[in-house]
Amino acid sequence: MSASPLFTLAVPSSSVRTAAAIVGAPFDLTASFRRGSREGPSAIRRLSESLETYSPVLERDLEDLVLVDLGDAVPATAPVGQALDAIERAMGNALSIAQVAVLLGGEHTVSLAGYRAVRRVYPDAALVQVDAHADLRAEWEGEAITHASWLNQVGVEFGFESIFQFGIRSLARENADTRTSAAASAGGAAIGPGSRTAMRPGEPA
């Protein structure tokens, strides 16, 4: 992994199983509107210095936990396939040493790699998406794996019944058809009817 500033309270390695392992994925190569999310991991780490660590609700303190920051899995300029493979490997490593693996992106596409790693360890794991857009296009700009189509790839690889979506504001008709078909095949338990609000022209779902 590449060198990167550490998340506040985290260490680069531990000899014991940790509470959480953090992986950075500074990737936004398929972004079509405005790039810059590749700066997310470094920004989150930098601003983590301002975190207050104690939760009065849980009566727990982050300072009492062992957190590991494994650095960034890929350089920001890595090709899509190479980047996703590296992120999947890094997340697999994180899952092997920690109770919780945390992936810092990056554009939406990195979630596909993270979920692939999770499914290797937890074959029945579901994916919960909180987003304004459905990201269920079969392809975007001629590519099957992009920020606008990564969730469709999840459905192709693992079954649409594994997907639960919340907050969908608007979507392309293609996305709506996919959601309706998937919900019907899953008995209505997974992704269901979406918003009928019109999308802004040129905005990918």
Q: What is the CATH number of the domain that holds 114?
A: 3.40.800.10
Domain boundary among 101, 125, 149: 125
- Do 76 and 3 lie in one domain? The reply is yes
- DSSP letter for 197, please: P
Q: Which uninterrupted H or E stretch holds 111? A: helix 110-121
Q: What is the pLDDT of residue 185?
A: 63
- Do 102 and 140 lie in one domain? The reply is no
Per-residue pLDDT tens over the stretch 4-57:
678 988 988 888 889 999 999 998 887 877 777 788 899 999 999 998 999 999
Structure tokens at 18: 């940790």
How many domains does one find in the chain?
A: 2
Look up the pTM and report it.
0.82
Per-residue pLDDT tens over the stretch 52-79:
999 999 999 999 999 999 999 988 788 8
Q: What is the pLDDT of residue 202?
A: 41
Is the peptide bond between 155 and the residue preceding it cis, with omega within 30 degrees of 0?
no
